[in-house]
Amino acid sequence: MKNYYTQMEAAKKGIITPEMKIVAEKEYIDAEELRALVAKGEVCIPCNINHKSISPEGIGTKMRTKINVNLGISGDAKNYDVEMEKVDMALKFGAEAIMDLSNYGKTNTFRQALIEKSPAMIGTVPMYDAIGYLEKDLLEITPQDFLRVVRAHAEEGVDFMTIHAGINRRAVEAFRRDKRKMNIVSRGGSLLFAWMMMTGNENPFYEYYDEVLDILREFDCTISLGDALRPGCIDDSTDAGQIAELIELGALTERAWAKDVQVMVEGPGHMAMNEIAANMKLQKRICHNAPFYVLGPLVTDIFPGYDHITSAIGGAIAAASGADFLCYVTPAEHLRLPDTNDVKEGIIASRIAAHAADIAKGVPHATDRDNAMAEARHEVDWDKMFDIAVDSEKARAYFESTPPADRHTCSMCGKMCAVRTTNMILNGEKVEFCSEK
């Protein structure tokens, strides 16, 4: 029997937890206001009781937009050292969450090392791990087997789990009736769909949803309600399958809250820019203002190798329109497992989207660093600019690659630098380009 309250349970009882105090300080929000948002489910603080190294973060209403980094091994790329280098990269550049999506062999050794090391919250998709963990083929796995994997991840200290509980028979019927170009592109969703079709049974995560919630509540693990029917191309966005599943997720959200389990809801995918804002409002309405976690969305399908950019465009619009949590996308998306450089590019692109959205939403102190950069540029203080930059190493390398003759300018404008010229005039100095030495 547990001897503690979940974050939501404590919030409903009027208790401000130590984790709430930390998040309130990070977010410049009153702790009592935060407690009320957690009690309503509009903010979640994914924080498993067994994740001792975590630095708690809030996701949802009035919070900064957070970003997640995906990593993990597969059958074709199983170097744990490389994956740990990606972890270091994620932590260095300020990712608030890391999802271990390993789907090959016994993954718990890596996951336990990750949880022990990481101050970022850790997420998983138990469905990915089921076949390797259980050493059974898909058709042989029982509903109780799936629950065993969920419990194993919760016991290890995973802070949030993607559970594809919304792809039930009703949602599948809508998906099959309304034909798609790309069908199902969610890995976990496709496995569950295959299991349902081969066995003739209901989705076990839907049928035994209360048992799933009991496990998550025991460890205060947040449920991230997966969007198995998310669109995998812009032509499939906002179709019957996506909306049918979203309606199911809205009902599952309330069932989780009734058991004091914190909730995030996952969203699209691929979507044209003109549909994004409406989709964010639709999710918030149907899912009762639960925090919204989006993959992208990618706003076009024809730029493989550049999908960190197509995703950042969609992510910025989504977050400015109400999304709370962005899953990064790397240049390797749709092509291969990302390497460490891909991971860095994906993180930076996602951070740009999140930060731009926070400025647009007026998040407290969002512009502090931008204002500091403006002051440094006004002073033409390159060292200060590099210190403020999110990727100071890259900024410095670009500057030094073609150094200017005068360090009070850069090599693009030289002495015709607009900032330098204006500063000189306002300081009462004469600007004479031809006679200057």
What radius of gyration do the chain's Cα atoms show? 24
For residues 243 and 375, state if they share a domain: no
Average of pLDDT values for 133-140?
88
**Residue 401 burial by CB count (10 A; 0-12/13-18/19+): exposed, middle or buried?**
exposed
Bridge partners of 122, per DSSP, are: 98
Bridge partners of 66, per DSSP, are: 325
Q: Does the annotation flag 164 for ligand binding? A: yes
Q: What pLDDT digit, counting tens, does each position of 290-321 carry? A: 999 999 999 999 999 999 999 999 999 999 99
Lowest mean pLDDT, pick from 3-7, 311-315, 324-328, 346-350: 3-7
Position 2 in a domain: no
For residues 213 and 111, state if they share a domain: yes
Q: Does the annotation flag 99 for ligand binding? A: yes
Give the per-residue pLDDT at 1. 43
Position 1 in a domain: no
Give the per-residue pLDDT at 283. 96
For residues 266 and 411, state if they share a domain: no
Bridge partners of 70, per DSSP, are: 99
Instruction: Give the separation between CA 241 and CA 189, rounded to whole angstroms.
Output: 12
For residues 262 and 328, state if they share a domain: yes
Give the per-residue pLDDT at 406. 77
Q: What is the DSSP string of 160-194?
A: EEEE--S--HHHHHHHHHS--SS----HHHHHHHH
Please count the structural domains in the chain.
3
Q: What pLDDT digit, counting tens, does each position of 349-387 carry? A: 999 999 999 999 999 999 999 999 999 999 999 999 999
Q: Does the annotation flag 227 for ligand binding? A: yes
For residues 217 and 234, state if they share a domain: yes
Instruction: Give the separation between CA 68 and CA 86, rounded to whole angstroms.
Output: 12
Structural domain harbouring 379: 367-401
Average of pLDDT values for 29-42?
98
Q: Does the annotation flag 4 for ligand binding? A: no
Q: Does the annotation flag 145 for ligand binding? A: no
Residue with tokens 């309405």, as numbered in its chain: 285
Q: Does the annotation flag 70 for ligand binding? A: yes
Q: Does the annotation flag 176 for ligand binding? A: no
For residues 375 and 357, state if they share a domain: no
Q: Does the annotation flag 351 for ligand binding? A: no
For residues 326 and 428, state if they share a domain: no
Q: Does the annotation flag 187 for ligand binding? A: yes
Bridge partners of 121, per DSSP, are: 97
Per the CB < 8 A criterion, the answer to whether 69 and 90 are in contact is yes
Q: Does the annotation flag 151 for ligand binding? A: no
> Which of the pair, 432 or 203, is modelled with greater confidence?
203
Q: Does the annotation flag 408 for ligand binding? A: no
Q: Taking 70 as the threshold, does the pLDDT of residue 81 lie above it?
A: yes
Instruction: Give the separation between CA 80 and CA 83, rounded to whole angstroms.
Output: 5
Q: Does the annotation flag 128 for ligand binding? A: yes
For residues 273 and 392, state if they share a domain: no
Q: Is residue 192 left, alpha or beta, with left meaning phi > 0 and alpha meaning psi from -120 to 50?
A: alpha
Give the per-residue pLDDT at 413. 84
Q: What pLDDT digit, counting tens, does each position of 96-133 carry? A: 999 998 876 667 888 999 999 999 999 999 998 888 77
For residues 381 and 251, state if they share a domain: no
For residues 430 and 348, state if they share a domain: no
For residue 350, how many other CB atoms are within 10 A of its CB?
Answer: 29
- Enter the DSSP assignment of 201: P
Q: What pLDDT digit, counting tens, does each position of 398-409 carry? A: 999 988 877 778
3-state percent breakdown (helix, strand, coil) of the chain, nearest 5: 50, 10, 40
Give the per-residue pLDDT at 374. 96
Position 251 in a domain: yes
Confidence of residue 76 (pLDDT cuts 50, 70, 90): low
Q: What is the average pLDDT score of the chain?
A: 94
pLDDT over 90 percentage in the chain: 84
Per the CB < 8 A criterion, the answer to whether 325 and 66 are in contact is yes
Position 80 in a domain: yes
Instruction: Give the separation between CA 245 and CA 233, rounded to whole angstroms.
Output: 17
Q: Does the annotation flag 249 for ligand binding? A: no
Per the CB < 8 A criterion, the answer to whether 270 and 237 are in contact is yes
For residues 310 and 409, state if they share a domain: no
Q: Does the annotation flag 266 for ligand binding? A: yes
Q: What's the CATH code of the domain at 267?
A: 3.20.20.540
Instruction: Give the separation between CA 89 and CA 91, rounded to whole angstroms.
Output: 5
Give the per-residue pLDDT at 436. 56
Q: Taking 50 as the threshold, does the pLDDT of residue 328 lie above it?
A: yes
For residues 391 and 280, state if they share a domain: no
Angle between helices 273-286 and 307-320 (to 10 degrees): 50
Q: Does the annotation flag 288 for ligand binding? A: no
Give the per-residue pLDDT at 109. 85
Indicate the residue among 333, 361, 389 that finishes a domain: 361
